[in-house]
Structure formats: C-alpha cells, structure tokens
C-alpha cells in the first residue's frame, strides 16, 4: 500500500513552509542560503527563529508542527478524529540545551533530555497519539521515521501519521564533526573530485501521511532499511548494504530501477561516503548510472542531520510538481567513479519516481520510493511475531563472555561508551541462549532496536568535559560517535554481523516497550525475519539529574529479547510488555 502525503511543515535555511524545500522551475539554479558558524565554517541556519540556543530544538519542532496541523485542517477536515501515529526522528534531540546547561547557563534540567522537544506535541495535538516513537538513527532518522509511518498505515494500526525529523544548531555537534575531520572550510561539493567534507545545517520537516485514496501532494510507495555492520562511523565502501536497502524499497514499490527518474542522494560531500554511495548506485542501476540524474540537496541546505531525509523527500515532491530533474549546488569536476550526473540547472522532464537514499553513523541505511501517483500494490500480509528467547540482565561488558560470540574482531568492541558496552553485553547473553537452543538466525535479515530513555546523555556529558575545559577546538574524536543515540544499536550490529534495520528509540520512560513494539512492526511488515530488542540505560551524575527531572527513575543495566516471525516462542500480542518476558 502507498501512503499519501497530505500536508507538511518545514523550515530550512531557504525559508519556512514551501520555501524550505522548493527547487524551482525548469532552468532554475539552486539558491544561496549559507551563513557561517563559530570558527567561520559555513552553516545553513534557519533565519528568523528567535528562540534562544537552548530552546531551539523545541522551537523548530513547534514550527513544523504548527504548519502541518494547519495544512491538515485545511486539506482533511475532521482529521482530529482519526487514529494518529507520530514518528519523529532526531540525531541530537535536546543536545543544544544540555551543552548550555553544562556550560553554566540557567537551563532547566528537564529540557536537556533527548526526548524533551516532544513536549511540543501536547499543546498541538487534539489528544495523545495511538503510537508515539522518537526515532534515533542519526542522519537517517527521518527517513526511517517515514518508513515506520508507511508500515503503520499498511498494517492498519493508524489512519494518519505525522512523520519526519528535526535538528537544531549545536556548537558541540559541530565541534565533533570537526574533530572527525568531516567538515569543509567551504561550501560542500558532493560527488566532486575536489570534495573535502560536509557543511552542517539545521531544520525541520514533518509530513502527514494518510491512506492512498486521499488527494495527495505525492506518495511514499516503498521503503527499505539495512545496516552495514562494518564500522561505527565509516560506511561500507562496497556499497552493498545501502544497495540492499534500495532494492528492498524498489521491490516494496514494485518499481524496476529503470523507471527511477532521479535519485535523491545522501551526498554529504565527504570522501568515503560519496565513494560508497557511488558504488551503491552502480550496484542498484547497473549500466545506467552515467546518465542518471542525482539530486544532492545538502549542497543547498546543508546537512540537517535528523531532518535531512524528510527535507530531501519534500524537495523531491517539489520536483514532481515543477516537472523537473532538480539541480544541485555542487561545482567542480565529477569524481572519476561518479555513478550519475549532478545538474547545475533544473531540467524539464516528466518525472514520476524518485529513489531517496540515507546513510548514518552506526551503519544505518534507509531508502524510500517517492512518486507522483499511488502504486497499484496489494495489501501487506501481517505476520505473527513471537518472543523466541530472553537473555539475562547485565551491568557491564565482560570480554570473556562476549568474544566467543563475536563476528567482528574484538578491537571493534565499543570503547569509552558504556551504553554501547551494555547493549553488546546484553545481546551476547541473548545470543548465547539462541545458540544453546539451536534457533535459526539469518543475520542479514536480523535487525536491532534499542530502547533507552537516557539515550546518549552520559556520553554527551563525557564528550563535553574536554570542550568545557579546553575549548571547542579540543573536542575528542574518539568520544563523539557515542553522542549519537543509535551508536549502541550500530555496535550490536557490528559485533554480531546483523544486517537488518538498526536504530534506537526513546520518547520517555517507556522506551523498552517502545522498542519492543517497533521491532514487532518491522517483523510484521517483513522488513526483517528476526529482531534483537535491547532495553538499556546508563546515566551518572549530570545525566542522572536530567532523568530525575523528567521522572525517569530507571536503573543502569541492559537486557535483550529476540523476536522472530517464526513460531519459536510465545506470541507477542497487544498488551504485552518488555518486562513480561524477562521474569
């Protein structure tokens, strides 16, 4: 089944509303919207947003929500009476508030939780949604959120979905990418031989998705997700994992690759990412790529992290409406292995289909098929899901218990990241039980969802310690990846060679049950055959004060369950909770 795009809310450096993503008509070139951040590197900032730095994440989300609610009220009267699901992705959540609080500014502790910006929902929705998920998948967050929303509609769990993502400017996040040498001193040049890094931005993009019979701006016709299971920050250079996600999305939409009119690429402008994405394009499209149009929207609005996939999807919808293959603001010589072409000006064309690609820290990959019209697809079978095994509780990673089960070398185990260590240890205890029982596990079809209310708060505090002591230029590159809340899921996938969907969730104190239900969604819809569900918390001192302020009195530690689409254990029915299977 397709999902109709009924309304949107968006903001980027280009503007607010449709201005945030409009690509213009035939012959138009991308607009210039760059400014600078501290230190002089380019940054794509949302102008006219008066919120203080610590309040900026929530203010961006409110800006998007106000627009999408107004659009729904105009296009779908009575939407307030429908069963609503909300899936909102972010890479850094309330990080901007935390960095100000740790610097000594008067910021409420509750504002520093990763899920704190979601408080904007309560005053803008008519009632609590049927489903609420905060998706943590770094730069693929909003793409995965849109895929999850599509699945909810297909499975009949809700009638209407609000899905997308947001991220606000954070000096510490910028410093982290600088420390990894991933940013450029100039505007980004994705897929060019001269490329030398990304340029960051901020933004929000929320899409209202509904049944395909409704009048729509465009359609989400397919989704796929995979995990590299190679490295926590570097991509799979072969492109195979990203190509798997793309093929699944195309198969989901019943669309052959030759019917794709253009690809909305991830296109960060970093050396390894662009090369890996180019390799994936060659695998997906075979001999066609030299003439395939690519749209690298990050060259226009910067890398908006958790908002990127949704903003880029809206830009694709704009291209459908304008009847163009959209241009990118990336000048220079094409990289020799470029599998496709970037346009300097929009080309008039009867475009019907776009393949949207996203990649992220943790090795997460996601792909969407976006189209002008709905696809003639059959209904999706709803598979039964079983709890196949439960592992014991852990409070620390013990190498001697983990190493015999590893697929990757022991040196790939997480370091200086206690939340990820707990998740790997819990997964090892679970996989030991799986091996003892002789349960089958196809690792490329097995994913990971981590539920954590604390998310990476503790890692953020530890990452910020040197910045506070010595300045932004001294940010530690080894500590920065752990500030991404999905790093823990990525480490589990790397350790045990798992190639299915991987990410974290955590919209509040019920993060463990949130993860259980999302893993069940992926299995019901056929996106995986098995899912590891890990409930994990780790917080000390400053991070613990934040959790206490929001009423999350969860102990440190982790535990994991295995869900399967095969009948290897009790059926996971509505009304069952994570704790029910850990007794």
Tokens of 407: 């697929």
Neighbouring CB atoms inside 10 A of 438's CB total 6
Q: For 77, how many CA atoms within 13 A lie in the half-sphere containing its CB?
A: 0
Residue 302 has pLDDT above 90, yes or no: yes
Q: What percent of the chain has pLDDT over 90?
A: 78
Q: Which residues contact 436 (CB under 8 A, 6 or more apart)?
A: none
d(CA 517, CA 449): 10
Strands (E), 362-445: 364-371, 386-390
- Top pLDDT among 327 and 555 is at 327
User: Is 112 one of the catalytic residues?
Assistant: no
Q: Which residues contact 373 (CB under 8 A, 6 or more apart)?
A: 219, 352
d(CA 249, CA 68): 26
How far is CA 546 from each of CA 110, 113, 141, 168, rounded to the nearest angstrom? 6, 6, 23, 20
pLDDT band at 289 (very low <50, low <70, confident <90, very high): low
Residue 331 has pLDDT above 90, yes or no: no
Of residues 441, 438, 476, the one with CA closest to residue 459? 476
Phi, psi of 141, rounded to the nearest 5 degrees: -60, -50
Mean pLDDT of 383-408: 93
Q: Which residue in this structure is represented by tokens 């069963």?
A: 83
Neighbouring CB atoms inside 10 A of 78's CB total 8
User: Is 474 one of the catalytic residues?
Assistant: no
Mean pLDDT of 558-579: 82
Of 112, 174, 231, 266, the active-site residue reads 266
Neighbouring CB atoms inside 10 A of 272's CB total 15
Mean pLDDT of 84-108: 93
Q: Which domains does the chain have, with CATH numbers?
A: 3-371 (3.40.47.10), 386-581 (3.40.47.10)
pLDDT band at 378 (very low <50, low <70, confident <90, very high): low
pTM of the entire structure?
0.96
pLDDT of residue 1: 79
Q: Which residues contact 308 (CB under 8 A, 6 or more apart)?
A: 139, 142, 143, 165, 203, 266, 298, 358
Neighbouring CB atoms inside 10 A of 284's CB total 26
pLDDT of residue 109: 87
Handedness of CA 427, 432, 437, 441 (dihedral sign): positive
Residue 567 has pLDDT above 90, yes or no: no
Burial class of residue 286 in the structure, from the number of CB atoms within 10 Å of its CB (0-12 exposed, 13-18 middle, 19+ buried):
exposed
- CA 204 to chain centroid, in Å, comes to 13
Neighbouring CB atoms inside 10 A of 570's CB total 12
d(CA 541, CA 536): 17
pLDDT digits (tens, 9 = 90+) for 531-548: 999 999 998 887 888 888
pLDDT digits (tens, 9 = 90+) for 458-513: 999 999 999 999 999 999 999 999 999 999 999 999 999 999 999 999 999 899 99
d(CA 55, CA 63): 12
Mean pLDDT of 235-262: 95
Neighbouring CB atoms inside 10 A of 323's CB total 15
Query: Can you list the alpha helix ranges (DSSP code H) found in 227-307?
Result: 240-252, 271-285, 298-301
pLDDT of residue 433: 94
Of 33, 139, 174, 423, the active-site residue reads 139
pLDDT digits (tens, 9 = 90+) for 257-269: 999 999 999 999 8
pLDDT of residue 495: 96
């Amino acid at each position: 089944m397709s999902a109709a795009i009924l309304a949107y809310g968006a903001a980027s450096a280009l503007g607010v509303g449709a201005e945030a993503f409009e690509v213009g008509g035939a012959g138009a070139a991308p607009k210039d919207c760059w400014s600078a951040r501290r230190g002089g590197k380019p940054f794509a900032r949302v102008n006219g947003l008066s919120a203080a730095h610590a309040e900026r994440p929530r203010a961006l989300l409110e800006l998007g929500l106000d627009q999408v609610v107004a659009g729904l009220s105009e296009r779908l009267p009575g939407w307030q009476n429908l069963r609503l699901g909300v899936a909102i992705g972010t890479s850094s959540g309330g990080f901007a508030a935390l960095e100000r609080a740790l610097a000594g500014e008067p910021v409420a502790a509750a504002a520093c939780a990763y899920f704190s910006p979601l408080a904007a929902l309560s005053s803008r929705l008519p009632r609590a949604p049927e489903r609420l998920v905060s998706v943590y998948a770094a730069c693929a967050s909003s793409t995965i959120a849109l895929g999850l929303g599509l699945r909810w509609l297909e499975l009949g769990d809700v009638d209407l979905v609000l899905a997308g993502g947001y991220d606000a400017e954070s000096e510490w996040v910028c410093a982290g990418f600088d420390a990894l040498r991933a940013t450029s001193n100039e505007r980004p040049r994705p897929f060019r031989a001269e490329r030398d890094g990304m340029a960051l931005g901020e933004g929000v993009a929320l899409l209202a998705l509904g049944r395909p019979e409704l009048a729509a701006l465009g359609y989400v016709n397919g989704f796929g997700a995979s995990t590299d299971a190679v490295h926590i920050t570097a991509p799979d250079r072969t492109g195979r994992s990203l190509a798997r996600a793309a093929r699944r999305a195309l198969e989901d939409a019943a669309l052959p690759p030759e019917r794709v009119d253009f690809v909305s690429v991830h296109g960060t402008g970093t050396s390894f990412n662009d090369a890996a994405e180019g390799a994936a394009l060659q695998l997906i499209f075979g001999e066609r790529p030299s003439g395939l149009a690519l749209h690298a929207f990050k060259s226009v609005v910067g890398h908006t992290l958790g908002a990127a996939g949704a903003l880029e999807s809206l830009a694709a919808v704009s291209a459908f409406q304008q009847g163009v293959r959209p241009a990118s603001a990336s000048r220079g010589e094409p990289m020799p292995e470029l599998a496709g072409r970037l346009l300097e000006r929009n080309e008039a064309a009867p475009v019907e289909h776009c393949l949207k690609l996203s990649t992220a820290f943790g090795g997460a990959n996601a792909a969407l098929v976006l189209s002008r019209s709905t696809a003639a697809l059959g209904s999706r079978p709803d598979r039964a899901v079983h709890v196949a095994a439960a592992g014991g509780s852990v409070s620390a990673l013990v190498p001697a218990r983990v190493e015999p089960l590893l697929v990757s070398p022991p040196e790939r185990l997480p370091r200086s990241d206690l939340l990820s260590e707990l998740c790997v240890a819990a997964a090892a205890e679970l996989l030991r039980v799986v091996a003892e029982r002789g349960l089958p596990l196809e690792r490329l079809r097995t994913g990971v969802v981590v539920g954590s209310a604390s998310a990476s708060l503790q890692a953020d505090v530890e990452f910020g310690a040197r910045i506070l002591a010595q300045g932004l230029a001294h940010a530690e590159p080894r500590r920065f990846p752990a500030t991404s809340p999905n790093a823990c899921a990525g480490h589990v996938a790397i350790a045990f060679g798992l190639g299915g969907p991987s990410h974290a969730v955590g919209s509040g104190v019920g993060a463990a049950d949130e993860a259980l239900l999302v893993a069940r969604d992926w299995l019901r819809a056929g996106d995986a055959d098995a899912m590891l569900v890990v409930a994990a918390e780790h917080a000390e001192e400053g991070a613990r004060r934040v959790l206490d302020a929001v009423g999350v009195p969860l102990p440190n530690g982790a535990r994991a369950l295995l869900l399967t689409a095969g009948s290897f254990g009790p059926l996971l029915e509505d009304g069952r909770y994570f704790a029910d299977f850990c007794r």
